[in-house]
Amino acid sequence: MHTSGGSASPSDISAPASMPGLLPVPWPEITRLRQQVADDIDTIKRQTRRSGTLMSEADAAAAARAAVRKQVARWAQDWALKHPPLGPDDLERVRTEVFNLLFLAGALQRVLDRPGVEDVLIDGELMLVDSNGRTEKLRSPFSSREQAVEWVNHMAGTSGHGERQLSYATGKVDFRLPDGSRVAATVLTTHVTIAIRRHGTMLSTLRDLVERGTVDPVLATMLSCAVKAGLTMVIAGDMGTGKTTLMRALGREVPAHERLITLESDRELYLDTPDTPAHTLAFEAREGNGERDVSGRMSGQITLAELVQTSMRYKADRVMVGEVRGEEAVAMLEAMIAGGSGSMCTIHARDPESVIERLMVPLSRAGLSDQAGYRLIAAAVDLIVYIDKTDHRPHGGQMHRYLTHVWETAGRGEGGGVALARIFAPRDPQDAEPPLRADVRAMPTRTPVSERRMRKLELAGFDRRWLGAYPNGQWPQGPVT
């Protein structure tokens, strides 16, 4: 995360009145009101169940708003006996804060609702907000360490992960906010640190990525056809390059007659929604409760590797693994070979040249020899896609994310590794005489796709002549540098 440089001082931290952290009443008053409203809602739900019906989310939200108004009006009368009475705007702030704490992200909701917000990092009194390719320094919405910890534990409980509580005994927790944003919080740092990763692109499609300049129409069409043709893919890139966003978009290209199963440590793909054509089942690994059995395994733990095997029992046509880090790599690649045509996974790789070796790391940890690992990759994977980013924010620009490489696996290499054919790659300046141009984005390389895979692509709607007809692709605007 980039800032405008140097350590922050009070003079360069904004605190506009519309931002959180400037509540007209102390935080304990908000939490007390929240509990009173929660008790009211629980009473209403019990009464509804006794009548033989269940309360919908919309009805629960409406009941909550009514309860908030009633409790805040009653509270405001008592507050005014010992304090200056609150005006209409301040009362609305209190009502909004109480409702947000019950159903949304509490004190941070107004920040998360701002257009383009991608990441929020709270470090003591400082809050850094990344939005639209820029970083803004703000004051934290929390007035004390205790308030920050209370917010973390309340939101963890609301997310269904009540067993994950932040304390000195449990120094870090991870959970999701109601809108799907990922939260990591810790007291292992000098101050309470809370990192929130927003999913503002949960409904992204390949067309959206074309419009953002992440992929050009030629490559987008090829990837769409590769999904429809059932080619297996590994999507690689460094942190924050958009691997999950790309795989989410590719998941929406899976044909409607198929069953797609997603497997993740923490949910990010969110493809089990009506806007995904394929019937999708979303599985999430489960952490243990801290207790270990005689074998040393945490009680209640369910790993990604186990979920790969479990998914086969639900007649999955293809499987998508959010990020391969450990022993699930072997299970995933074996599933690709055993019939998981069109399956995909992402992997973290700092540069394009290290993708294969990065994939070999979890295979080696699982006990596979180099020869067995390379053979497994070559047999299981059809295409490797690399996505990168260029960060111009330190110079007043923006963040650019774009695809740079597509390789086709071509069996075993002469040195015993995996042979790769570069189908798309950046154009070397030495090869950029007109009509070609140098560019760091993925351009057709004139290396032919193997005939067997090309026939599959053509059956899915791709025309091989496009690779020659658009030697520079169809990227928007000028080259990214």
> How does pLDDT run across 26-35, given as a tens digit for each residue?
877 888 888 8
pLDDT: which is higher, 179 or 136: 136
Q: What are phi and psi of 376, to 5 degrees?
A: -65, -45
List, for residues 453-465, the tens digit of each pLDDT value: 999 999 999 999 9
Q: Provide the pLDDT for residue 2.
A: 40
List, for residues 356-380, the tens digit of each pLDDT value: 999 999 899 888 999 999 999 999 9
Burial class of 24 by CB neighbour count within 10 A (0 to 12, 13 to 18, 19+): middle
C-beta of residue 303 within 8 angstroms of C-beta of residue 282? no
**Dihedral through CA 14, CA 19, CA 20, CA 22, nearest 10?**
80
42, 133, 246 from 240: Cα distances, Å: 40, 12, 12
d(CA 225, CA 253): 8
Structure tokens at 217: 């129409």
Sheet bearing 117-123, strands edge to edge = 134-139, 126-131, 117-123, 193-197, 182-186, 172-176
List, for residues 82-99, the tens digit of each pLDDT value: 888 888 888 888 888 888
Strands 279-284 and 259-264: parallel
- Cis peptide upstream of residue 429 (ω within 30 degrees of 0): no
119, 261, 283, 367 from 307: Cα distances, Å: 29, 10, 7, 20
Q: Provide the pLDDT for residue 45.
A: 76
3-state DSSP helix/strand/coil percent for the chain, to nearest 5?
40, 20, 40
Burial 267-306 (b: 16+ CB within 10 A, else e): bbbbbbeeebbbebbbbebebeeeeeeeeeeeeeeebbbb
Q: Is the pLDDT of residue 14 over 50?
A: no
If DSSP codes are grouped into helix, strand and coil, which group holds residue 310? helix
Q: Provide the pLDDT for residue 1.
A: 40
- Chain centre distance of CA 459: 32
C-beta of residue 174 within 8 angstroms of C-beta of residue 184? yes
d(CA 289, CA 305): 19
Handedness of CA 173, 174, 175, 180 (dihedral sign): positive
pLDDT band per the 50, 70, 90 thresholds, residue 8: very low
List, for residues 343-357, the tens digit of each pLDDT value: 999 999 999 989 999
Handedness of CA 449, 453, 458, 460 (dihedral sign): negative
d(CA 387, CA 480): 13
Handedness of CA 212, 218, 223, 225 (dihedral sign): positive
List, for residues 382-440, the tens digit of each pLDDT value: 999 999 998 776 666 777 899 999 999 998 888 789 999 999 999 876 665 666 667 89
Q: Is the pLDDT of residue 60 over 50?
A: yes
0.85 exceeded by pTM: no
List the domains of the chain with CATH numbers. Answer: 10-197 (3.30.450.90), 206-286+300-469 (3.40.50.300)
Average pLDDT, rounded, for the chain: 83
Amino acid at 376: L
Structure tokens at 220: 């987008």
Structure tokens at 430: 């030495």
Q: Provide the pLDDT for residue 467.
A: 92
Q: Provide the pLDDT for residue 20.
A: 42
Burial class of 239 by CB neighbour count within 10 A (0 to 12, 13 to 18, 19+): exposed
pLDDT band per the 50, 70, 90 thresholds, residue 451: very high
d(CA 468, CA 446): 7
